């Protein structure tokens, strides 16, 4: 295996301009490869690759199946596909979302940590929430090095700030400093090579669906009395990590923050369904009351009118809970 460095870059909100800034002066002759995940909506058309190609010197490519990771090239994850690396080649995976995202920064970082070990450098840039922290931890534990954008000057501080709290970061830099550190690291000897932790290998396999089963989760963590916000299955609290996070046997993975966000979204969706159902029930009972009244069954008609009043009260309470105004 070669000695070129592998730089895995993760970004979310505000990250596209940050990526351009750190790569614009890197020569195609650099002894390194670059793999990038930028959060995007699942139905977004990939345009960042063509944009970045016009702004930097290195060739930028959409990540394609079985592409060999080569020096002086930049590879960008496709929307709605995890980018992972296995034996030096890119694999696009439709595996379970992590922290509500696919592609996920954690999935890429963990993958390159397992595949490249001490040759890997993780760079986490501007973004909300905390995707990327677990991945940086994996890179560090596999012998690689870690870089974050200074949270105080990042457009969105959430991702680098969370990583700074939980991971022993090697470099906390301003954007204009990152390019110099990239060149410095490519000229330095590699860090000491260490054995890849077995638990990180197992988690990396889950993202590619090589491993995804209850037995695997029992090995990785402890079952908790909560359900997966994506599929409803049981959750396991992952051990062997400083970061509080959960995974289901299908493979969906959450930090505490992303799990709470997903639960809130599910709750809101459920409340909307309840409100719609109550409104439809009200309309149906109103029609039934009218029909019985027209047939001379006033007593039955009045009973439905009373029930309509009860439904109205439920609708009013639900609207207040959801802060909906007529």
By annotation, the residues acting in catalysis are: 12, 39, 131
DSSP string, 146-165: EEEE-TTTSSS-HHHHHHHH
Q: Is 169 left (phi over 0), alpha (psi -120 to 50) or beta?
A: beta
Contacts of 172 (CB under 8 A, 6+ apart): 147, 148, 149, 150, 151, 160, 164
Burial code of 2-29, b = ≥16 C-beta within 10 A, e = fewer? eebbbbbbbbbbbbbebbbbbbeebeee
Mark out the alpha helices in the chain (DSSP H runs): 15-23, 48-53, 105-116, 133-141, 158-166, 175-187, 198-207, 214-220, 256-294, 298-321
* Residue located via tokens 């501007």: 126
For the range 189-194, what are the long-range contacts, defined as Cβ-Cβ under 8 Å and sequence gap of 24 or more? 190/3, 190/5, 190/118, 190/119, 191/118, 191/143, 191/144, 191/145, 192/118, 192/143, 193/117, 193/118, 193/143, 194/117, 194/118, 194/142, 194/143
Q: Are 124 and 38 in contact (CB under 8 A)?
A: no
Rounded Cα distance, 138 and 247, in Å = 16
């Amino acid at each position: 295996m070669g000695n070129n460095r592998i730089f895995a870059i993760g970004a979310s909100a505000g990250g596209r301009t940050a990526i351009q800034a750190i790569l614009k002066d890197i020569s195609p002759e650099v002894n390194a490869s670059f793999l990038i995940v930028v959060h995007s909506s699942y139905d977004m058309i990939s345009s960042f690759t063509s944009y970045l190609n016009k702004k930097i010197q290195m060739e930028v490519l959409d990540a394609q199946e079985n592409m060999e990771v080569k020096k002086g090239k930049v590879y960008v994850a496709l929307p709605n596909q995890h980018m992972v690396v296995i034996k030096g080649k890119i694999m696009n995976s439709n595996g379970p979302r992590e922290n509500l995202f696919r592609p996920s920064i954690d999935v890429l970082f963990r993958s390159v940590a397992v595949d490249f070990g001490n040759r890997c450098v993780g760079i986490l840039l501007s973004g909300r929430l905390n995707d990327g922290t677990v991945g940086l931890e994996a890179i560090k534990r596999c012998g690689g090095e870690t870089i974050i954008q200074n949270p105080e000057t990042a457009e969105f501080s959430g991702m680098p700030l969370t990583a700074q709290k939980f991971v022993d970061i090697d470099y906390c830099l301003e954007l204009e400093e990152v390019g110099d550190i990239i060149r410095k690291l490519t000229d330095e000897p590699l860090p000491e090579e260490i054995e890849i932790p077995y638990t990180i290998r197992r988690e990396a396999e889950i993202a590619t669906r090589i491993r995804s089963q209850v037995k695997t989760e029992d090995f990785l963590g402890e079952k908790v009395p909560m359900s997966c916000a994506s599929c409803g299955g049981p959750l396991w609290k992952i051990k062997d990590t400083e970061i509080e996070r959960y995974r289901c046997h299908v493979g969906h993975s959450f930090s505490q923050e992303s799990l709470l966000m997903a639960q809130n979204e599910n709750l809101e969706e459920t409340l909307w369904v309840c409100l719609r159902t109550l409104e439809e029930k009200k309309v149906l009972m109103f029609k039934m009351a009218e029909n019985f009244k027209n047939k001379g069954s006033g007593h039955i008609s009045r009973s439905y009118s009373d029930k309509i009043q009860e439904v109205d009260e439920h609708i009013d309470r639900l609207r207040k809970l959801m802060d909906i105004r007529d």
